């Protein structure tokens, strides 16, 4: 038997000994840090930079908008990057960029430095978040791809559960600058050896049949062009873009909104509950999502977030506010997973990686403006009431749009 022949044998994705499940565990771990620093960490950065420097919320959150917008350009080509350099090198590059950006964020003393840190953070985000994880797992999984992605993306919720409270605690003890240096070093030490040890070459599927299918598959540019003319793809991407615009904007401003109402500690608890419920929601749905109407499940999730926001706007009771953050969070995890599952169910499997990178980029371009717009509306109106009502409207529009699935 040659050293590479194990990659040519039949693949049993249901076996607990299948190497793909180790890749799921690695992706879970990478997602923990990717979302902890790149997504949920933004709410900490906004609050800390405002506290330290007194900069307007609109200025700081516009840096977050730039981070997502620039990152969307990079995310579009993650599929090509994985093909050219392999999943291991892309993951390592993402981790290094994310850690460097986190360390730099703690040293920011001028607005231009914030934008530089967010630019580097965008490279880290592309190499540690949804696009790289779905593309990587797509190389190891076919029949169990939905389950693998759902399990791996629980790392996103885990990153919020442990990331925000640990960052807040470390900042309180060490100061913002030192805490971010320690966090960056921890990420490098905890993730790079794991990636080097477990992420190797993906299996080769089906011999000549797989090679013929690859030859017959359209080019990435052709797939993207066709998708942008497909009504089914557009309704998925636009509806999730609207919801993620509202969701990301709300989460980034959550600590700043809750801090004067219930205090920094309780605000961090609310974020932790939100992310814990995101994980719980994904676990509950993962057991039944293949048997559900995934578009209807998406619409129900959108409406549940709108309901939670409506209560949050009007309540000043600490228990109610924290509980509604949990209600909002129950669908947060599924809104990361559902687009991948819908694409897998409704579109050609050979296009999966390209379409996921494209839909991630489209969504990211849209929700890149969420934190900035909410910050501007908050500064203009003097409170978060107006921007949060706008988020409710977007959620309800998306709930109607996602149910349109006619193919072009």
CA atoms within 13 A on the CB side of 376: 9
DSSP state of 231: H
Count Cα atoms within 13 angstroms, Cβ side, for 268.
17
Report residue 389 as tokens: 């009502």
Cα–Cα distance measured from residue 259 to residue 370, given in angstroms and rounded to the nearest whole number: 20
Identify the pLDDT of residue 290.
66
Among 36, 10, 84, which Cα is nearest to 353's?
84
How far is residue 149's CA from residue 339's CA, in Å, rounded to a whole number? 11
- Residue bearing tokens 């409406």: 303
Question: How confident is the model at residue 276, as a pLDDT?
Answer: 82
Helices (H), 291-383: 294-314, 318-329, 332-346, 352-367, 369-381
Closest CA to 43 of 72, 29, 64: 64
pLDDT, one tens digit per residue, over 367-406 is 778 888 898 898 888 889 999 999 999 999 999 999 887 5
Distance CA 356, CA 142 (A): 15
- Intra-chain end-to-end CA distance of the chain, in Å: 49
CA 267/CA 271 separation, integer angstroms = 6
Q: How far apart are CA 35 and CA 129, in angstroms?
A: 7
Contact (Cβ atoms closer than 8 angstroms) between residue 121 and residue 128: no
- Residue closest to 11 by CA, chosen among 139, 98, 99, 118: 139
What span, in angstroms and rounded, lies between the C-alpha atoms of 167 and 104? 15
Count of positions (residues) in the chain: 408
What are the residues whose beta carbons fall under 8 Å from the beta carbon of 329, sequence distance 6 or more? 273, 274, 275, 276, 277, 278, 281
Task: Quote the pLDDT of residue 4.
Answer: 45
18-203+218-401 fold = Growth Hormone; Chain: A; (1.20.1250)
pLDDT of residue 184: 94
Neighbours of 14 (CB within 10 A): 9
Using alpha carbons, list the distances in angstroms from residue 324 to 160, 256, 273, 390: 17, 16, 10, 18
Place of tokens 């009007």: 314
Phi/psi of residue 195, nearest 5 degrees: -65, -45
Q: Which residue has tokens 């559900």?
A: 292
d(CA 203, CA 131): 20
Q: What is the pLDDT of residues 100-130, one digit of tens each?
A: 999 999 999 888 999 999 999 999 999 998 8
Q: What's the sign of the alpha-carbon dihedral 92, 98, 103, 108? A: positive
Note the pLDDT of residue 405: 72
The answer to whether the Cα torsion of 339, 342, 347, 353 is positive or negative is: positive
3-state secondary structure 41-64: HHHHHHHHHHHHHCCCHHHHHHHH
- If you compute the radius of gyration of the chain from its CA atoms, what whole number of angstroms results? 21
Give the per-residue pLDDT at 5: 41
- Give the angle 150-154-157 at the CA atoms, nearest 5°: 140
Dihedral (CA of 307, 233, 289, 131) sign? negative
Low-confidence ranges of the chain (pLDDT < 70): 1-14, 16, 205-217, 287, 290, 406-408
CB atoms within 10 A of CB 393: 12
């Amino acid at each position: 038997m040659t050293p590479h022949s194990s990659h040519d044998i039949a693949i049993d994705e249901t076996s607990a000994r299948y190497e793909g499940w180790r890749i799921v565990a690695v992706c879970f771990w990478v997602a923990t840090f990717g979302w902890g620093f790149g997504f949920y960490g933004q709410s900490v950065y906004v609050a800390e930079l405002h506290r330290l420097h007194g900069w307007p919320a609109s200025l700081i959150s516009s840096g977050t908008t730039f981070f997502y917008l620039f990152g969307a350009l990079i995310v579009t080509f993650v599929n090509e990057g994985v093909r050219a350099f392999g999943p291991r090198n892309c993951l390592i590059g993402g981790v290094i960029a994310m850690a460097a950006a986190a360390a730099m964020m703690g040293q920011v003393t001028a607005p231009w430095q914030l934008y530089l840190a967010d630019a580097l953070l965008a490279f880290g985000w592309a190499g540690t978040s949804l696009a790289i994880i779905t593309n990587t797992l797509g190389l190891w999984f076919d029949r169990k791809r939905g389950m693998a992605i759902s399990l791996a993306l629980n790392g996103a919720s885990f990153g919020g559960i442990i990331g925000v409270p640990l960052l807040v605690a470390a900042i309180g003890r060490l100061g913002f600058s030192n805490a971010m240096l320690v966090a960056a070093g921890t990420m490098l030490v905890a993730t790079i050896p794991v990636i080097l040890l477990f992420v190797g070459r993906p299996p080769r599927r089906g011999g000549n049949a797989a090679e013929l299918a690859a030859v017959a598959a359209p080019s990435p540019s052709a797939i993207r062009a066709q998708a942008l003319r497909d009504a089914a793809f557009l309704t998925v991407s636009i509806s999730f873009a609207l919801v993620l615009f509202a969701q990301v904007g709300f989460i980034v401003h959550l600590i700043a909104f809750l801090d004067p109402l219930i205090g920094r500690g309780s605000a961090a608890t609310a974020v932790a509950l939100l992310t814990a419920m995101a994980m719980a929601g994904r676990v509950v749905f993962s057991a039944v999502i293949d048997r559900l109407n995934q578009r209807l499940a998406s619409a129900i999730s959108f409406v549940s977030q709108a309901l939670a926001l409506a209560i949050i706007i009007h309540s000043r009771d600490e228990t109610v506010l924290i509980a509604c953050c949990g209600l909002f969070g129950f669908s947060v995890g599924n809104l990361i997973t559902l687009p991948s599952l819908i694409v897998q169910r409704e579109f050609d499997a050979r296009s999966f990686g390209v379409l996921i990178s494209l839909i991630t980029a489209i969504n990211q371009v849209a929700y890149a403006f969420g934190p900035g717009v909410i910050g501007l509306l908050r500064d203009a109106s003097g409170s978060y009431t107006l921007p949060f009502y706008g988020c409710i409207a977007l959620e309800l529009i998306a709930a109607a749009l996602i149910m349109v699935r006619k193919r072009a």
